[in-house]
Protein backbone atom coordinates (compact mmCIF):
# COMPACT_ATOMS: atom_id res chain seq x y z
CA UNK A 1 0.00 0.00 0.00
CA UNK A 2 1.32 3.37 -1.02
CA UNK A 3 0.19 6.63 0.50
CA UNK A 4 0.57 8.31 -2.90
CA UNK A 5 -2.39 6.24 -4.13
CA UNK A 6 -4.56 7.44 -1.27
CA UNK A 7 -4.25 11.23 -1.48
CA UNK A 8 -7.93 11.83 -2.25
CA UNK A 9 -9.76 12.59 0.99
CA UNK A 10 -6.69 12.69 3.24
CA UNK A 11 -7.44 14.82 6.29
CA UNK A 12 -5.44 16.99 8.63
CA UNK A 13 -3.96 19.16 5.89
CA UNK A 14 -3.39 22.93 5.99
CA UNK A 15 -6.29 25.37 5.82
CA UNK A 16 -7.08 27.71 4.22
CA UNK A 17 -5.89 26.58 0.83
CA UNK A 18 -3.04 28.56 -0.69
CA UNK A 19 -3.76 29.10 -4.38
CA UNK A 20 -0.27 29.48 -5.87
CA UNK A 21 -0.98 30.46 -9.47
CA UNK A 22 2.56 30.36 -10.82
CA UNK A 23 3.52 27.42 -13.04
CA UNK A 24 7.17 27.52 -11.97
CA UNK A 25 8.29 29.06 -8.71
CA UNK A 26 12.02 28.77 -9.49
CA UNK A 27 13.73 29.29 -12.83
CA UNK A 28 15.53 25.96 -12.60
CA UNK A 29 12.18 24.12 -12.59
CA UNK A 30 11.68 25.06 -16.23
CA UNK A 31 14.78 23.10 -17.22
CA UNK A 32 13.69 19.79 -15.70
CA UNK A 33 10.24 20.23 -17.22
CA UNK A 34 11.83 20.68 -20.64
CA UNK A 35 14.05 17.64 -20.17
CA UNK A 36 11.04 15.50 -19.23
CA UNK A 37 9.08 16.62 -22.29
CA UNK A 38 12.08 15.92 -24.50
CA UNK A 39 12.34 12.40 -23.07
CA UNK A 40 8.65 11.78 -23.76
CA UNK A 41 9.07 13.04 -27.31
CA UNK A 42 12.09 10.79 -27.93
CA UNK A 43 10.75 7.69 -26.14
CA UNK A 44 11.37 4.53 -28.14
CA UNK A 45 7.76 3.40 -27.72
CA UNK A 46 6.61 6.18 -30.05
CA UNK A 47 7.49 4.03 -33.07
CA UNK A 48 4.36 2.03 -32.26
CA UNK A 49 2.28 5.05 -31.22
CA UNK A 50 -0.47 6.75 -33.19
CA UNK A 51 0.93 8.28 -35.32
CA UNK A 52 3.90 5.95 -35.80
CA UNK A 53 6.84 8.28 -35.26
CA UNK A 54 10.11 7.42 -37.08
CA UNK A 55 11.96 7.15 -33.78
CA UNK A 56 14.60 4.80 -35.17
CA UNK A 57 15.67 7.53 -37.57
CA UNK A 58 16.02 10.25 -34.95
CA UNK A 59 19.72 10.84 -34.22
CA UNK A 60 19.48 10.89 -30.43
CA UNK A 61 21.53 8.83 -28.00
CA UNK A 62 18.33 8.24 -25.99
CA UNK A 63 17.08 4.69 -26.48
CA UNK A 64 14.65 4.00 -23.67
CA UNK A 65 10.93 4.27 -23.11
CA UNK A 66 9.92 7.29 -21.08
CA UNK A 67 6.26 8.15 -20.51
CA UNK A 68 4.09 9.67 -17.84
CA UNK A 69 3.88 6.18 -16.39
CA UNK A 70 7.66 6.18 -15.95
CA UNK A 71 7.60 9.46 -14.07
CA UNK A 72 4.64 8.44 -11.92
CA UNK A 73 6.06 5.04 -11.11
CA UNK A 74 9.05 6.86 -9.69
CA UNK A 75 6.87 9.26 -7.71
CA UNK A 76 4.80 6.38 -6.37
CA UNK A 77 7.99 4.56 -5.35
CA UNK A 78 9.18 7.43 -3.17
CA UNK A 79 9.26 7.42 0.57
CA UNK A 80 5.78 8.88 1.10
CA UNK A 81 7.04 11.39 3.65
CA UNK A 82 9.58 12.65 1.13
CA UNK A 83 6.76 12.81 -1.41
CA UNK A 84 5.08 15.46 0.75
CA UNK A 85 8.32 17.11 1.75
CA UNK A 86 9.55 17.96 -1.72
CA UNK A 87 8.03 20.36 -4.22
CA UNK A 88 6.62 19.06 -7.49
CA UNK A 89 9.63 19.66 -9.71
CA UNK A 90 12.08 18.63 -7.00
CA UNK A 91 10.54 15.18 -7.31
CA UNK A 92 10.90 15.32 -11.08
CA UNK A 93 14.56 16.30 -10.79
CA UNK A 94 15.25 13.44 -8.41
CA UNK A 95 13.38 10.83 -10.44
CA UNK A 96 14.72 11.83 -13.84
CA UNK A 97 18.30 12.15 -12.64
CA UNK A 98 18.08 8.70 -11.02
CA UNK A 99 16.76 7.26 -14.27
CA UNK A 100 19.67 8.58 -16.31
CA UNK A 101 22.17 7.28 -13.76
CA UNK A 102 20.53 3.86 -13.41
CA UNK A 103 20.37 3.40 -17.17
CA UNK A 104 24.03 4.32 -17.56
CA UNK A 105 23.61 7.54 -19.53
CA UNK A 106 25.45 9.60 -16.91
CA UNK A 107 27.28 8.84 -13.68
CA UNK A 108 27.01 10.46 -10.30
CA UNK A 109 30.65 11.48 -10.65
CA UNK A 110 29.98 13.26 -13.94
CA UNK A 111 26.99 15.06 -12.46
CA UNK A 112 28.92 16.15 -9.39
CA UNK A 113 31.88 17.34 -11.46
CA UNK A 114 29.65 19.24 -13.85
CA UNK A 115 27.66 20.82 -11.04
CA UNK A 116 30.86 21.95 -9.32
CA UNK A 117 32.33 23.49 -12.42
CA UNK A 118 31.27 26.38 -14.53
CA UNK A 119 32.63 24.83 -17.66
CA UNK A 120 30.29 25.71 -20.48
CA UNK A 121 28.56 22.91 -22.29
CA UNK A 122 30.63 21.52 -25.10
CA UNK A 123 28.83 22.03 -28.33
CA UNK A 124 27.88 18.80 -29.94
CA UNK A 125 26.86 17.83 -33.38
CA UNK A 126 23.37 16.91 -32.29
CA UNK A 127 21.01 17.20 -35.16
CA UNK A 128 18.03 19.52 -35.23
CA UNK A 129 16.11 16.39 -36.17
CA UNK A 130 16.00 15.66 -32.43
CA UNK A 131 14.10 18.87 -31.75
CA UNK A 132 11.89 18.32 -34.79
CA UNK A 133 10.78 14.95 -33.41
CA UNK A 134 9.98 16.48 -30.02
CA UNK A 135 7.88 19.16 -31.68
CA UNK A 136 6.08 16.55 -33.76
CA UNK A 137 5.26 14.66 -30.56
CA UNK A 138 3.97 17.82 -28.91
CA UNK A 139 1.73 18.69 -31.86
CA UNK A 140 0.44 15.18 -32.63
CA UNK A 141 0.50 13.50 -29.25
CA UNK A 142 0.35 9.86 -28.22
CA UNK A 143 -3.26 8.77 -28.04
CA UNK A 144 -3.92 5.55 -26.12
CA UNK A 145 -7.08 4.85 -28.18
CA UNK A 146 -6.66 1.56 -30.01
CA UNK A 147 -9.93 0.02 -31.10
CA UNK A 148 -13.68 0.31 -31.10
CA UNK A 149 -15.16 -0.18 -27.67
CA UNK A 150 -16.16 -3.56 -26.34
CA UNK A 151 -17.90 -2.44 -23.18
CA UNK A 152 -19.05 -4.87 -20.53
CA UNK A 153 -21.10 -2.22 -18.73
CA UNK A 154 -23.70 0.30 -19.88
CA UNK A 155 -24.81 3.70 -18.55
CA UNK A 156 -26.90 3.22 -15.45
CA UNK A 157 -25.16 0.01 -14.40
CA UNK A 158 -24.10 -0.18 -10.77
CA UNK A 159 -20.48 -1.21 -10.46
CA UNK A 160 -18.02 -1.82 -7.66
CA UNK A 161 -14.43 -0.65 -7.86
CA UNK A 162 -11.98 -3.50 -7.52
CA UNK A 163 -9.54 -3.70 -4.65
CA UNK A 164 -6.68 -5.44 -6.41
CA UNK A 165 -3.45 -4.59 -4.60
CA UNK A 166 -1.60 -1.90 -6.50
CA UNK A 167 1.90 -2.72 -7.66
CA UNK A 168 4.45 -0.12 -8.76
CA UNK A 169 1.84 2.08 -10.45
CA UNK A 170 -1.92 2.32 -10.61
CA UNK A 171 -4.70 4.42 -12.08
CA UNK A 172 -7.34 3.66 -9.50
CA UNK A 173 -7.58 6.32 -6.80
CA UNK A 174 -7.37 4.69 -3.40
CA UNK A 175 -10.44 6.42 -2.00
CA UNK A 176 -12.63 4.67 -4.60
CA UNK A 177 -11.53 1.12 -3.81
CA UNK A 178 -14.41 -1.25 -3.05
CA UNK A 179 -16.98 1.53 -3.39
CA UNK A 180 -20.10 1.32 -5.52
CA UNK A 181 -20.93 3.83 -8.22
CA UNK A 182 -23.08 4.22 -11.31
CA UNK A 183 -21.79 4.18 -14.87
CA UNK A 184 -22.55 7.62 -16.26
CA UNK A 185 -20.87 7.27 -19.63
CA UNK A 186 -19.00 4.76 -21.78
CA UNK A 187 -16.28 6.35 -23.88
CA UNK A 188 -16.03 5.52 -27.54
CA UNK A 189 -13.10 3.25 -28.20
CA UNK A 190 -10.82 1.01 -26.21
CA UNK A 191 -7.80 2.52 -24.52
CA UNK A 192 -4.38 1.09 -23.84
CA UNK A 193 -2.14 2.31 -21.07
CA UNK A 194 1.57 3.12 -21.38
CA UNK A 195 2.57 -0.02 -19.55
CA UNK A 196 1.09 -3.05 -17.85
CA UNK A 197 0.72 -1.88 -14.30
CA UNK A 198 0.20 -5.30 -12.79
CA UNK A 199 -3.23 -4.41 -11.46
CA UNK A 200 -5.13 -4.99 -14.69
CA UNK A 201 -4.54 -2.18 -17.16
CA UNK A 202 -2.25 -1.96 -20.18
CA UNK A 203 -4.06 -3.76 -22.97
CA UNK A 204 -6.82 -1.83 -24.78
CA UNK A 205 -10.09 -1.81 -22.85
CA UNK A 206 -13.12 0.45 -22.36
CA UNK A 207 -13.02 3.43 -20.03
CA UNK A 208 -16.07 4.64 -18.13
CA UNK A 209 -17.09 7.69 -16.20
CA UNK A 210 -18.46 6.41 -12.93
CA UNK A 211 -20.47 8.63 -10.60
CA UNK A 212 -20.13 8.23 -6.84
CA UNK A 213 -22.12 9.86 -4.09
CA UNK A 214 -20.01 11.57 -1.43
CA UNK A 215 -21.79 9.67 1.34
CA UNK A 216 -20.86 6.38 -0.36
CA UNK A 217 -17.21 7.48 -0.30
CA UNK A 218 -16.92 9.45 2.91
CA UNK A 219 -19.91 8.47 5.04
CA UNK A 220 -20.55 10.97 7.81
CA UNK A 221 -17.39 12.86 6.76
CA UNK A 222 -19.00 13.92 3.47
CA UNK A 223 -19.97 17.55 3.01
CA UNK A 224 -23.70 18.12 3.60
CA UNK A 225 -24.37 19.41 0.12
CA UNK A 226 -25.56 18.07 -3.21
CA UNK A 227 -22.19 17.04 -4.63
CA UNK A 228 -21.08 14.25 -6.95
CA UNK A 229 -17.69 12.70 -7.59
CA UNK A 230 -16.88 11.42 -11.06
CA UNK A 231 -13.90 9.27 -11.91
CA UNK A 232 -12.68 7.86 -15.17
CA UNK A 233 -12.01 4.19 -14.65
CA UNK A 234 -10.60 1.48 -16.87
CA UNK A 235 -12.88 -1.54 -17.18
CA UNK A 236 -10.38 -3.74 -15.32
CA UNK A 237 -11.04 -1.67 -12.22
CA UNK A 238 -14.79 -2.36 -12.24
CA UNK A 239 -16.82 -5.40 -11.34
CA UNK A 240 -20.56 -6.00 -11.59
CA UNK A 241 -22.83 -5.77 -8.58
CA UNK A 242 -24.69 -8.90 -7.63
CA UNK A 243 -28.04 -7.20 -7.09
CA UNK A 244 -29.58 -10.11 -5.20
CA UNK A 245 -26.89 -10.33 -2.53
CA UNK B 1 10.08 20.31 14.44
CA UNK B 2 12.49 17.49 13.87
CA UNK B 3 15.26 17.51 11.30
CA UNK B 4 13.15 15.16 9.25
CA UNK B 5 11.48 18.17 7.71
CA UNK B 6 14.46 20.49 7.56
CA UNK B 7 15.62 21.64 4.16
CA UNK B 8 19.22 22.41 3.29
CA UNK B 9 19.98 26.13 3.22
CA UNK B 10 21.13 25.90 -0.39
CA UNK B 11 17.99 24.07 -1.45
CA UNK B 12 17.26 26.04 -4.62
CA UNK B 13 20.88 26.72 -5.59
CA UNK B 14 21.61 23.03 -5.27
CA UNK B 15 18.68 22.03 -7.47
CA UNK B 16 19.61 24.69 -10.01
CA UNK B 17 23.16 23.37 -10.19
CA UNK B 18 21.98 19.78 -10.46
CA UNK B 19 19.58 20.42 -13.30
CA UNK B 20 22.12 22.54 -15.14
CA UNK B 21 24.64 19.72 -14.83
CA UNK B 22 22.13 17.16 -16.05
CA UNK B 23 21.07 19.24 -19.03
CA UNK B 24 24.70 19.94 -19.97
CA UNK B 25 25.58 16.24 -19.85
CA UNK B 26 22.51 15.25 -21.88
CA UNK B 27 23.57 17.74 -24.55
CA UNK B 28 27.18 16.55 -24.52
CA UNK B 29 26.09 12.96 -24.89
CA UNK B 30 23.81 13.66 -27.81
CA UNK B 31 20.54 12.86 -26.08
CA UNK B 32 19.12 16.34 -26.64
CA UNK B 33 20.47 19.46 -28.31
CA UNK B 34 21.55 22.69 -26.72
CA UNK B 35 18.29 24.23 -27.91
CA UNK B 36 15.89 21.47 -26.90
CA UNK B 37 14.75 22.76 -23.53
CA UNK B 38 14.39 26.34 -24.73
CA UNK B 39 12.34 25.16 -27.72
CA UNK B 40 10.03 23.11 -25.50
CA UNK B 41 9.51 26.08 -23.21
CA UNK B 42 8.91 28.41 -26.15
CA UNK B 43 6.23 26.09 -27.48
CA UNK B 44 4.27 26.50 -24.27
CA UNK B 45 5.03 30.18 -23.79
CA UNK B 46 4.04 31.19 -27.31
CA UNK B 47 1.38 28.77 -28.52
CA UNK B 48 -0.06 26.49 -25.84
CA UNK B 49 -1.36 29.06 -23.40
CA UNK B 50 -4.65 29.74 -21.64
CA UNK B 51 -5.52 32.06 -24.53
CA UNK B 52 -6.68 28.95 -26.39
CA UNK B 53 -9.04 28.02 -23.60
CA UNK B 54 -10.32 31.58 -23.34
CA UNK B 55 -11.24 31.53 -27.03
CA UNK B 56 -13.09 28.25 -26.58
CA UNK B 57 -15.03 29.62 -23.61
CA UNK B 58 -15.96 32.86 -25.34
CA UNK B 59 -17.08 30.96 -28.44
CA UNK B 60 -19.31 28.85 -26.20
CA UNK B 61 -20.72 31.98 -24.56
CA UNK B 62 -21.54 33.55 -27.92
CA UNK B 63 -22.74 30.48 -29.78
CA UNK B 64 -25.24 28.19 -28.01
CA UNK B 65 -24.89 25.50 -30.67
CA UNK B 66 -21.12 25.42 -30.17
CA UNK B 67 -21.69 25.34 -26.42
CA UNK B 68 -23.82 22.24 -26.88
CA UNK B 69 -21.25 20.58 -29.14
CA UNK B 70 -18.16 21.32 -27.09
CA UNK B 71 -19.26 19.23 -24.10
CA UNK B 72 -20.27 16.27 -26.28
CA UNK B 73 -17.33 15.96 -28.67
CA UNK B 74 -14.76 18.38 -27.33
CA UNK B 75 -11.92 17.60 -29.77
CA UNK B 76 -14.18 18.09 -32.79
CA UNK B 77 -15.58 21.36 -31.46
CA UNK B 78 -12.12 22.68 -30.57
CA UNK B 79 -10.91 21.76 -34.05
CA UNK B 80 -13.51 24.14 -35.53
CA UNK B 81 -11.68 27.12 -34.08
CA UNK B 82 -8.62 28.86 -35.47
CA UNK B 83 -6.17 27.72 -32.79
CA UNK B 84 -2.50 26.69 -33.04
CA UNK B 85 -1.70 23.28 -34.52
CA UNK B 86 -1.50 20.79 -31.70
CA UNK B 87 -4.82 21.02 -29.86
CA UNK B 88 -4.99 17.20 -30.09
CA UNK B 89 -1.27 16.87 -29.34
CA UNK B 90 0.50 16.02 -26.12
CA UNK B 91 -1.93 16.10 -23.17
CA UNK B 92 -4.71 17.15 -25.53
CA UNK B 93 -5.31 13.79 -27.18
CA UNK B 94 -8.67 13.42 -25.46
CA UNK B 95 -9.93 16.80 -24.33
CA UNK B 96 -13.19 16.86 -22.40
CA UNK B 97 -15.08 20.02 -21.47
CA UNK B 98 -17.78 20.27 -18.82
CA UNK B 99 -20.02 23.32 -18.55
CA UNK B 100 -21.15 25.17 -15.47
CA UNK B 101 -24.82 26.12 -15.41
CA UNK B 102 -27.25 27.58 -12.89
CA UNK B 103 -27.15 25.13 -9.99
CA UNK B 104 -24.15 23.17 -11.28
CA UNK B 105 -20.48 23.93 -10.64
CA UNK B 106 -17.69 21.73 -12.00
CA UNK B 107 -14.29 21.25 -10.36
CA UNK B 108 -11.44 19.36 -12.01
CA UNK B 109 -8.86 17.58 -9.87
CA UNK B 110 -6.31 14.79 -10.27
CA UNK B 111 -5.75 12.87 -7.07
CA UNK B 112 -3.16 10.48 -8.52
CA UNK B 113 -0.96 13.00 -10.29
CA UNK B 114 -1.68 16.26 -12.10
CA UNK B 115 -3.27 15.51 -15.49
CA UNK B 116 -3.89 18.84 -17.20
CA UNK B 117 -5.13 19.88 -20.68
CA UNK B 118 -1.89 21.46 -21.89
CA UNK B 119 -3.00 22.65 -25.34
CA UNK B 120 -5.99 24.62 -24.10
CA UNK B 121 -4.75 25.81 -20.70
CA UNK B 122 -0.98 25.66 -20.95
CA UNK B 123 1.00 24.18 -18.08
CA UNK B 124 -0.63 23.60 -14.71
CA UNK B 125 -0.24 26.21 -11.98
CA UNK B 126 1.24 25.04 -8.71
CA UNK B 127 -2.08 24.91 -6.87
CA UNK B 128 -3.29 22.15 -9.18
CA UNK B 129 -0.23 20.01 -8.37
CA UNK B 130 -0.37 20.73 -4.65
CA UNK B 131 -1.06 17.54 -2.65
CA UNK B 132 -3.11 19.62 -0.19
CA UNK B 133 -5.52 20.74 -2.92
CA UNK B 134 -5.63 17.30 -4.49
CA UNK B 135 -6.40 15.65 -1.17
CA UNK B 136 -8.89 18.15 0.19
CA UNK B 137 -10.88 18.93 -2.95
CA UNK B 138 -11.94 15.31 -3.28
CA UNK B 139 -13.85 15.24 0.01
CA UNK B 140 -14.64 18.86 0.86
CA UNK B 141 -14.86 20.81 -2.42
CA UNK B 142 -17.35 23.36 -1.04
CA UNK B 143 -15.13 24.22 1.89
CA UNK B 144 -12.04 24.46 -0.31
CA UNK B 145 -13.84 26.68 -2.82
CA UNK B 146 -15.09 28.91 -0.02
CA UNK B 147 -11.54 29.37 1.25
CA UNK B 148 -10.44 30.69 -2.12
CA UNK B 149 -13.38 33.00 -2.61
CA UNK B 150 -15.86 30.91 -4.56
CA UNK B 151 -19.06 31.10 -2.54
CA UNK B 152 -21.74 28.94 -4.10
CA UNK B 153 -25.42 28.72 -3.15
CA UNK B 154 -26.06 25.82 -0.77
CA UNK B 155 -28.21 24.07 -3.33
CA UNK B 156 -25.65 24.31 -6.13
CA UNK B 157 -24.35 20.87 -6.99
CA UNK B 158 -20.58 20.61 -7.12
CA UNK B 159 -19.40 18.01 -9.58
CA UNK B 160 -15.84 16.91 -8.86
CA UNK B 161 -14.05 15.27 -11.79
CA UNK B 162 -11.04 13.15 -10.86
CA UNK B 163 -8.76 12.86 -13.91
CA UNK B 164 -7.86 9.23 -13.41
CA UNK B 165 -8.26 8.10 -17.02
CA UNK B 166 -7.42 9.29 -20.52
CA UNK B 167 -9.41 12.52 -20.68
CA UNK B 168 -7.99 15.94 -19.94
CA UNK B 169 -10.77 18.01 -18.44
CA UNK B 170 -11.56 21.69 -18.43
CA UNK B 171 -14.54 23.79 -17.41
CA UNK B 172 -16.67 26.20 -19.41
CA UNK B 173 -17.50 28.75 -16.68
CA UNK B 174 -20.77 30.65 -16.66
CA UNK B 175 -20.88 33.95 -18.49
CA UNK B 176 -21.11 36.79 -15.96
CA UNK B 177 -24.28 38.84 -15.98
CA UNK B 178 -24.18 42.24 -17.59
CA UNK B 179 -21.70 41.28 -20.28
CA UNK B 180 -24.13 41.14 -23.20
CA UNK B 181 -22.45 44.07 -24.95
CA UNK B 182 -18.86 42.96 -24.33
CA UNK B 183 -16.51 42.38 -27.24
CA UNK B 184 -14.71 39.04 -27.52
CA UNK B 185 -11.57 40.64 -26.14
CA UNK B 186 -13.44 42.01 -23.12
CA UNK B 187 -15.00 38.61 -22.54
CA UNK B 188 -11.66 36.81 -22.75
CA UNK B 189 -10.34 39.08 -20.00
CA UNK B 190 -13.00 37.60 -17.70
CA UNK B 191 -11.71 34.03 -18.18
CA UNK B 192 -8.77 32.70 -16.19
CA UNK B 193 -7.00 29.36 -15.94
CA UNK B 194 -8.55 29.04 -12.50
CA UNK B 195 -12.10 29.58 -13.83
CA UNK B 196 -11.45 26.94 -16.50
CA UNK B 197 -10.61 24.36 -13.82
CA UNK B 198 -13.42 25.34 -11.47
CA UNK B 199 -11.54 27.04 -8.64
CA UNK B 200 -12.81 30.47 -9.69
CA UNK B 201 -15.78 31.97 -11.45
CA UNK B 202 -15.44 34.01 -14.62
CA UNK B 203 -15.21 37.68 -13.81
CA UNK B 204 -12.87 40.65 -13.49
CA UNK B 205 -9.40 39.59 -12.36
CA UNK B 206 -9.10 39.86 -8.60
Domains identified in chain B, total number: 2
pLDDT band at A126 (very low <50, low <70, confident <90, very high): low
Q: Are residues B99 and B13 in the same domain?
A: no
Same domain, B115 and B165: yes
Residue A245 lies in a domain: no
Q: Which residues contact B68 (CB under 8 A, 6 or more apart)?
A: none
Q: Are residues A8 and A90 in the same domain?
A: yes
Closest CA to A123 of B19, B24, B16: B24
Residues B17 and B93 in one domain: no
Report if residue A132 sits inside a domain. yes
| Residue B19 belongs to domain spanning | 3-34
Domain boundary among A118, A143, A168: A143
> CA torsion sign, A175 to A178 to A180 to A185?
positive
**pLDDT at position B129 over 60:** yes
Please answer yes or no on whether A225 and B158 come within 8 Å at the CB atom.
yes
Q: Over 80: is that where the pLDDT of B4 sits?
A: no
- DSSP strand pairing (A228-234 vs A207-212): antiparallel
CATH number of the domain where residue A69 is located: 1.10.472.20
Domain CATH code at residue A184: 2.30.30.50
Q: Which residues in chain B are closer than 8 Å to A4, comparing Cβ atoms?
A: 112
For residue B144, is pLDDT > 80? yes
- Percent of chain A at pLDDT > 70 equals 95
Same domain membership, residue B67 and residue B26: no
CA–CA distance, B108 with A62 (Å, rounded to integer): 35
DSSP chain A: --GGGG-TT--S--SS------S-SSHHHHHHHHHHHHHHHH-GGGGGSSS---GGGS--S--S---HHHHHHHHHTS-HHHHHHS-HHHHHHHHHHHHHHHTTSS-HHHHHHHHH--PPPPP----HHHHHHHHHHHHH----EEE----S--TT-EEEE--PPP-S--SS-GGGTT-EEEEEEE-SSEE--SS--SSS-SS-B-EEEEEE-HHHHHGGGS-SS--EEEEEEEGGGEEE--TT-
SS (H, E, C) A171-187: CCCHHHCCCEEEEEEEC
Whether residues A16 and A120 fall in one domain: yes
Q: For residue B164, indicate whether it is catalytic.
A: no
Which among A97, A123, A143 is the end of a domain?
A: A143
Are residues A131 and A168 located together in one domain of the fold? no
Query: Domains in chain A: how many in total?
Result: 2
Q: Does A185 touch chain B (CB under 8 A)?
A: no
Helix, strand, or coil (residue B159): strand
Indicate whether B64 belongs to any domain.
Answer: yes
A56 touching B, CB under 8 A?
no
For A37-74, give one letter per residue: b (16+ CB within 10 A) or e.
bbbbbbbbbbeebeeebebeebebebeeebbbbbbbbb
Q: Are residues A111 and A39 in the same domain?
A: yes
Contact between chains at A7 and B17 (C-beta distance less than 8 A): no
CATH code, B71? 3.90.330.10
The secondary structure element, H or E, covering residue B42 is: helix B36-46
Residues A189-216 have pLDDT tens digits of 999 999 999 999 999 999 999 999 999 9
- Residue A148 near chain B (CB below 8 Å): no
Q: Are A111 and A18 part of one and the same domain?
A: yes
Is pTM beyond 0.80? Reply is yes
Mean pLDDT of chain A: 94
What range does the domain containing A8 cover?
3-143
**pLDDT (mean) for B32-48:** 97
- In the set B2, B9, B15, B115, the catalytic residue is B115
B206 is catalytic: no
The complex scores an ipTM of 0.96
* d(CA A129, nearest CA chain B) in Å: 10
Tell whether omega for the bond before A16 is within 30 degrees of 0, i.e. cis: yes
pLDDT digits (tens, 9 = 90+) for B6-27: 788 899 999 999 999 999 999 9
For residue A242, what pLDDT band results from cuts at 50, 70 and 90? confident
Query: What's the pLDDT at B1?
Result: 45
Shared domain for A86 and A164, answered yes or no, is no
> Nearest by CB to B25, which of A37, A38, A111?
A111
Q: Is the pLDDT of residue B5 over 70?
A: no
Interface with chain B: mutation pick from A205, A232, A233, A238, highest number of B CBs within 10 Å: A232
Query: Which residues of chain B neighbour A27 with C-beta distances below 8 Å?
Result: 16
A171 in B contact zone (CB under 8 Å): yes
Residues B26 and B113 in one domain: no
Q: Answer whether residue B41 is part of any domain.
A: no
Looking at the domain assignment, is residue A70 inside a domain?
A: yes
Query: Count of CB contacts below 8 A, A vs B?
Result: 296
Other beta carbons less than 10 A from residue A131's beta carbon: 23
Same domain, B18 and B69: no
A78 shares its domain with A174: no
- pLDDT band at residue B28 using 50, 70 and 90 as cut-offs: very high
Report the 10 Å Cβ neighbour count for A140: 19
Amino acid sequence: MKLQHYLGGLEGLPEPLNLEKRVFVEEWEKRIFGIHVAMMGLSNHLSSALPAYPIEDVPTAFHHEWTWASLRTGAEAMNPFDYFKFRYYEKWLGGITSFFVEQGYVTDEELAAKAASNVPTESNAASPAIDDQIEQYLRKGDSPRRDVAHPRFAPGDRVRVTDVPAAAHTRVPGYLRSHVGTVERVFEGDYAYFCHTGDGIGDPMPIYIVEFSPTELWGARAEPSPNSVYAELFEAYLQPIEEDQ
Amino acid sequence: MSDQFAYPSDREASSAAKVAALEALLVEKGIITGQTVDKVLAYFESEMTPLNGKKIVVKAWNDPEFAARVVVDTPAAVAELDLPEGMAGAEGEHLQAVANAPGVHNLVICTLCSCFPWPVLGLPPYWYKDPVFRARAAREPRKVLGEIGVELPDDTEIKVWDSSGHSRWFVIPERPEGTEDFTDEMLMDLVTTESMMGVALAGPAS
